[in-house]
Chain A
Amino acid sequence: MNQRENFFAMIEGKKPEFIPNMMEVYKMCVFGTGITDSPLQGGLDPFGVNWIVTKEGAIPEPNKFMFDDIADWKEYVKFPNLDTLGIEAAAKIEMADFTPGEQVVNAFSVCGLFERLAAFMGFENALCSLVEDPESCREFFEAFADYKMAIHNRFIDVYQPDMITYFDDLATANGLFMSPKVYREVIKPSHQRIIEGVTSRGVIFTQHTCGKCEEIVGDYVEMGAKMWSSAQISNDLEGIMEKYQGRLIVEGGWDTSGPVSYNGASTEAVIAEAVRCANQYGKYGNFILMPILMNENGNSMLVGDPRLAPMLEVWHTVEKIA
């Protein structure tokens, strides 16, 4: 099996030949979301929010909020006209050298419902709004879900992706930002529409949520997500893999912010972490390795890391599933 065939065996709940790793299994498509959601090189997004580039990715300019009170959102939020953004041209450039058939086409869709609210009004205001004015939040999320769904439809038309990875960070390393009850009452209804919009077009929906979010992973599965990244080790990964075998692929497993990802960690230590992931998670048949090293140099996915190449060489000797 090639990467694509092996991946689809997993999606269909069959036994894969090997454990995929995110560095090789995907053709990642990011130009579209760079236009519609968060500029990759920083600057203003189509809503007028300014993004600052850091080594670990772009973030909204701190302390510069569009509004403080969620009840005012309609006065400030003007949804962009997707026809004017140049999504088609960007996709054409990004897919120019791509040969179909080998990899899984994965179109990124960053800045989900909660992240967008936080980009507009700051993290603290956004979180308090969920509790203080859930009705206005729900109204905003419904409108923003319409925008996201329109984007996804456009991405599906221009990229013809196998999968859309939707990013919405809802948790710290210790737990969710908000209670599962608040998530379910305020965010989930619009989240569900976004997921159904993707799956109804025959495209795989991947939910990206960092941190310890295991309390709502079941909600993701129930709504139709087939994958969850960046499954970090603060969650009970083995329990989740076992529970959702054949229904959910778990992408992550790497100790992203632990000593093995430090700048001073040896190549041998990085290789040992890959072997640990293969041994610990590979047997479940629904695991994809996500080897992200976060250290002084930044996110290895964005800035690279010389230890990853030798790690991959060894990975290819341990990735086979017995």
Chain B
Amino acid sequence: MEKVLIELQQAIENGETQIAMNKTKEALNYGIRTDKIIQTAINPAFKDLGQKMFDGEIYVTDVLMASRAAHAAMYVMEPILSRSTGTSKGIVAIGTVAGDLHDIGKNLVIMMLQGSGYTVIDLGIDVPAETFVEAVRMHKPDVLALSSLLTTTLPELDNMIDALEVTGLRAQVKVIVGGAPVTAEYASRIKADAYANDLFEATEAVADLVKNRIGKYAI
């Protein structure tokens, strides 16, 4: 029974979508619960990938292929996940701040988060502060993830956190920031809750934020 989970993990790490789907079906046929599949196969796959990326052993293409395979596994489990309550690890609203049209980093983070079992609300690119604020009000996410890929739009992160303060919503949502020009120092200066340098750090940081843990990436 455990063998199938190891094979699923390998399929995800190798970016083998069809095998990942088959192994997920097999695991479900064995009666393995979805939360165990996620915790024992999908999460460790991403953890391994994160380490390999950090060590320079794999590339963005490998991560993308792995994310697609994890998505396929989640797709197979979707009917069961949607029937059960409380299986989502948490809600994350995410978007690229106003003036910034880049979506690559954001989309990669979304794929990772969804593959890891979070409900993600993608607010898109070039998102004005009002839209973020409205999304926090409406969806009550555990985490608001803000991305800025441009140095030119960096101040929008600051403006966004100000907007949450002004509207009285800051206390009800954790804010994580990231993107090429963002640094931990900058995140600290604008009083974000966490900063992540890459998609793996973002996934780990979100896990901490959702559980109210002061993790490695907390500010």
Question: Do the two chains bind?
Answer: yes
Query: Quick check: B107 and A124 within 8 Å, CB to CB?
Result: yes
Of B55-63, B73-81, B162-170, the stretch lying at the interface with chain A is B55-63
Task: Among B56, B101, B103, B125, point to the contact of A175 (Cβ < 8 A).
Answer: B56
Give A296 Cβ to nearest chain B Cβ, in Å.
Answer: 5
Q: Which of B15, B56, B104, B180 contacts A257 (CB 8 A)?
A: B180
- Who on chain A is nearest to B183 by CB? A259
Q: How far is the CB of A58 from chain B (nearest CB, A)?
A: 10
Which of these, B53, B101, B153, contacts A62 with CB under 8 Å? B101
For residue B218, CB closer than 8 A to chain A, the reply is no
- In the complex, A247→B152 CA distance in Å? 36
Cα-based distance from A59 to B150 in the complex (angstroms): 12
* Binary flags per residue of A284-297, CB closer than 8 Å to B gives 1, else 0: 00000000001111
Q: Which residues of A contact B65 (CB under 8 A)?
A: 128, 131-132
A54 touching B60, Cβ below 8 Å: no
**Which among A77-85, A141-149, A176-184 touches the partner chain?**
A176-184
The reply to whether A54 and B101 contact each other, CB–CB distance below 8 Å, is yes
Q: Which residues of the other chain, B, contact A321 by a CB distance below 8 angstroms?
A: none
Whether A128 touches B150, Cβ cut-off 8 Å, given contacts A52-B101, A177-B60, A177-B61, is no
Does B181 interact with chain A (Cβ within 8 Å)?
yes
Using an 8 Å CB-CB cutoff, how does the interface string of B36-67 with A read, 1 for contact, 0 for none?
00000000000000000100101111101100
User: Does A276 reach chain B (CB closer than 8 Å)?
Assistant: no
* A200–B68 alpha-carbon span in the complex (Å): 43
Task: Determine which of A52, A178, A294, A298 lies in contact with B60 in the assembled complex, contact meaning CB atoms within 8 Å.
Answer: A178
**What residues on A are CB-neighbors of B101 within 8 Å?**
52, 54, 59, 61-62
Asked whether any CB of chain B lies closer than 8 Å to the CB of A74, the reply is: no
Which residues in A have their C-beta under 8 angstroms from that of B152?
54-56, 295-298
Chain B residues, Cβ within 8 Å of A175: 56, 59
Instruction: Give Cα A62 to B102, complex, Å.
Output: 7
User: CB < 8 Å: which of A52, A63, A173 contacts B180?
Assistant: A173
B215 within 8 A of A: no
CB of A160 within 8 Å of the partner chain: no
A317 within 8 A of B: no
B14 CB to nearest A CB, Å: 11
Residues of B within 8 A of A177 (CB): 59-61
Chain B contacts for A257, CB-based, 8 A? 151, 180-181
Interface check A130, CB cutoff 8 A: yes
Question: Contact flags (1/0) for B95-126 with A, using CB distance below 8 Å?
Answer: 00000011110011000000000000000110
Q: Is the CB of A127 within 8 A of B60?
A: yes
Which residue among A55, A127, A130 has the maximum number of chain B CB atoms within 10 Å of its CB? Answer: A127
The B145-187 residues at the A interface (CB cut-off 8 A) are 150-155, 180-181
Q: Write the nearest CB–CB distance from A315 to chain B, whole angstroms.
A: 23
* B61 in contact with A296 (CB, 8 Å): no
Known: A59-B101, A62-B125, A124-B104. A295 touches B151 (CB 8 A): yes
19 contacts between A and B (CB under 8 A): A52-B101, A54-B152, A56-B151, A62-B103, A62-B125, A63-B124, A123-B104, A124-B107, A127-B60, A174-B198, A175-B56, A177-B61, A178-B59, A257-B151, A262-B151, A294-B181, A296-B152, A296-B154, A298-B152
Chain A residues in the interface with B (C-beta under 8 A): 52, 54-56, 59, 61-63, 123-124, 127-128, 130-132, 172-179, 182, 257, 261-262, 294-298
B residues contacting A by CB (< 8 A) are 15, 53, 56, 58-62, 64-65, 68, 101-104, 107-108, 124-125, 150-155, 180-181, 198
> Other CB < 8 Å A-B pairs besides A124-B104, A127-B61, 8 of them?
A131-B65, A175-B56, A175-B59, A178-B59, A257-B151, A261-B151, A296-B151, A296-B152
